[in-house]
Structure 1
Amino acid sequence: MPIKRNLPSFLVVGAYKSGTTALYRYFYQHPEIYMSPIKETNFFALEGSIPNYCGPGDAQAPTNRLSITHIDDYRAQFDGLSTERAIGEASPMYLYSSKAAGRIQHYLPGVRLIVILRQPAARAYSNFLHLVRDGREKIQDFEKVWAQEDKRIQANWAPIWHIRQHGFYYRQLKQYFDIFSPTQIKVVLYEDLVKRPEETLASLFDYVGVDSEFQVDFSRRPNQSGIPKNRLARGLARRLLVIPLRATGNKKMMDWGESISNYFLYKPKITYEQKKEITEFYRQDILKLQSLIDRDLTHWLA
């Protein structure tokens, strides 16, 4: 695959809480792939803007602090390219953004796009737990949080808070199919990655043009959502392990620190009634999505 110097040959564009962090870490392990040092540069979503989201913790969150908004700074993310055959980046904001697809087509018309999607009710609940886990969501009633969304969007809270809106995959993905060839878009389901990780990664490696037989270390699961069993203990683990290890840039050590931190999490399940109601909310979008990607999604509706 020809590579445009200092720009990606493939992008993982979303969706939030569907395995994009895991894909980033797995791609990072591959010796023939160069991944941007910053995960979620958000460049194609936020080019030319100054991120100034106003939700709880948004000022300190990476979206406000680390997003790259100028093309020269974006190119600099790939200055470390050596002999790698593929260059990648992962920003789940790209699927949700109404501007990212057009900007990607402008800068990277031949790019390969990877989309990973999760059953939307399960995705929404994981999104909720993610915010609770980080101490940003103070309301621990999922239904109340669901009802608050419109007010939060109007108040300029960051996209991570747009729990309900993120589940409209057809609407978001259609904009990519409108301007890119279907051969440039590979859609993976979250359950593929969970149930058949080796097969799924081999297919993705082949898609981006690298050795598909490379064996990934699946022993650590990054970016787990959940509610802290002991917020003080988990906070100490993050301050003493996760944050210092992030500063080293060593992804293996970062994963180890995250696994220690995740020990202090428990993951409550969405109730049957909640999942049924929310799935029904997305029913028409799911039906249109399965036609768009030519894949049976009736198990999402079951």
Structure 2
Amino acid sequence: MITRRDAPQWVKDSGRNATRTLGRLTADARMLPGFLMVGTQRAGTTSLFRALAQHPAVVQPNFHKGVHYFDVEYHRSMAWYQGHFPLRSAARRRAGDEPPLAFESAGYYMHHPEAPHRIARDLPGVKLLAILRDPVERAYSAHRHELMRGFETEPFERALELEPERLAGEVERIKADPQYLSHSHRHHAYLDRSQYAGQIALLYELFGRDRVHVLFAEDFFAEPEPVYDGVLDFLGLSRRRPDAFERHNARPRSPMPEELRARLETHFEPHDHQLAALLGKVPPWRR
């Protein structure tokens, strides 16, 4: 059987266009997310997304993992956003005896300077999942990812040197113009995205600690069952696990020079200490 993920690209594109058109026309009858996976990029979000999507009470967007409304598509309407989600009647049938929850995953939501504010304003009561990863490994993996996608041309060390210049003034431009799309802020923020403490602190400020669940990729990949159960408990869902947990994009220790690794670990040390103080626990890469 061909699944949605295995379908040819032209089938996916045709399906998405038809779904968007129908979705806009029937937006009022469709779900809005009860929770969002807000990041971070390259930290196991795909693995967690696919596990959650198998829960009968959880419904995902049609033909999408992430809609990216709150970061790069915010110039569109809320009806456009809601049109990406399943009909409430269909979601209730699938969920059975549990209230259905819609969700999406966009790894840029947590790092985008305006997205958390937009989410708090437009989705009152929504819960957030933030999965974090060793910041050194995340930065290296993000660079490799951007190289493969054609959004980066520089080697890793040179890209790190260029990051301050590339990001200079970009946050201010994003805040000044809702339609401004910053290529470098989205694709070249290797260090900045890995500085988690400030991002998590803002989520706590906007949503409250009881609506933000922080977990770690290292824990999820090492022992997925208890970590996943914790996510389900946070969301108020029954403990129904998938048949197996995928390790999508999970890779061994990155092959970077040890001198560079040590330099990056020193760079992230104060940020990690702030994160530990904020969460009340030491992240696994500092244990």
TM-score band (shorter)? 0.7 to 0.9
1:12/1:90 contact within 8 Å kept: yes
Residues 207-246 of structure 1 correspond to what in structure 2 (within 5 A)?
207-218=234-245, 220-223=246-249
Secondary structure, counterpart of 1:132 in structure 2: helix
Partner of 1:129: 144
Secondary structure, counterpart of 1:89 in structure 2: strand
Partner of 1:300: 285
After TM superposition, the score normalised by the length of structure 2 is 0.75
CA distance in structure 2 between the partners assigned to 1:17 and 1:170 by the alignment: 17
Partner of 1:169: 196
Residues 1:9 and 2:34 aligned together: yes
Q: How far apart are 1:113 and its partner, in Å?
A: 0.8
Partner of 1:88: 103
Partner of 2:68: 42
Q: Give the aligned residue type for 1:160.
A: H
Partner of 1:100: 115
Q: Give the aligned residue type for 1:170.
A: A
2:151/2:187 contact within 8 Å kept: no
2:36/2:103 contact within 8 Å kept: yes
Q: Give the aligned residue type for 2:66.
A: E
Secondary structure, counterpart of 2:214 in structure 1: strand
Secondary structure, counterpart of 1:211 in structure 2: coil
Gaps of 5+ in 2: 1-28, 171-181
Alpha carbons of structure 1 residues 134 and 173: separation in structure 2 relative to 1, 3 Å: same
CA distance in structure 1 between the partners assigned to 2:259 and 2:77 by the alignment: 45
Identical counterparts, % of pairs: 26
CA distance in structure 1 between the partners assigned to 2:250 and 2:149 by the alignment: 11
Partner of 1:145: 159
Q: Give the aligned residue type for 1:144.
A: R
Partner of 1:230: none
Secondary structure, counterpart of 1:13 in structure 2: strand
Q: Give the aligned residue type for 2:144.
A: L
1:203/1:212 contact within 8 Å kept: no
Secondary structure, counterpart of 1:18 in structure 2: coil
Q: Give the aligned residue type for 1:26.
A: A
Alpha carbons of structure 1 residues 30 and 296: separation in structure 2 relative to 1, 3 Å: same
Residues 1:185 and 2:212 aligned together: yes
Write the deviation string for residues 244-276 of structure 1: whole angstroms up to 9, x where unpaired.
Answer: xxxxxxxxxxxxxxxxxxxxxx98523322221
Q: Give the aligned residue type for 2:216.
A: L
Alpha carbons of structure 1 residues 47 and 291: separation in structure 2 relative to 1, 3 Å: same
Alpha carbons of structure 1 residues 5 and 295: separation in structure 2 relative to 1, 3 Å: farther
CA distance in structure 2 between the partners assigned to 1:27 and 1:213 by the alignment: 9
Residues 1:273 and 2:287 aligned together: no
- Kindly report the root-mean-square deviation, in angstroms, between the aligned alpha carbons of the 2 structures: 2.4
Secondary structure, counterpart of 2:71 in structure 1: helix
Gaps of 5+ in 1: 50-68, 226-265
CA distance in structure 1 between the partners assigned to 2:197 and 2:127 by the alignment: 19
User: Of residues 79, 91, 109 in structure 1, which corresponds to 2:86?
Assistant: 79
2:57/2:237 contact within 8 Å kept: yes
Partner of 2:133: 118
Q: Give the aligned residue type for 2:205.
A: D
- Does 271-280 or 116-125 show the bigger shift? 271-280
CA distance in structure 2 between the partners assigned to 1:268 and 1:44 by the alignment: 31
CA distance in structure 2 between the partners assigned to 1:301 and 1:44 by the alignment: 32
CA distance in structure 2 between the partners assigned to 1:120 and 1:101 by the alignment: 21
Q: How many residues align?
A: 237
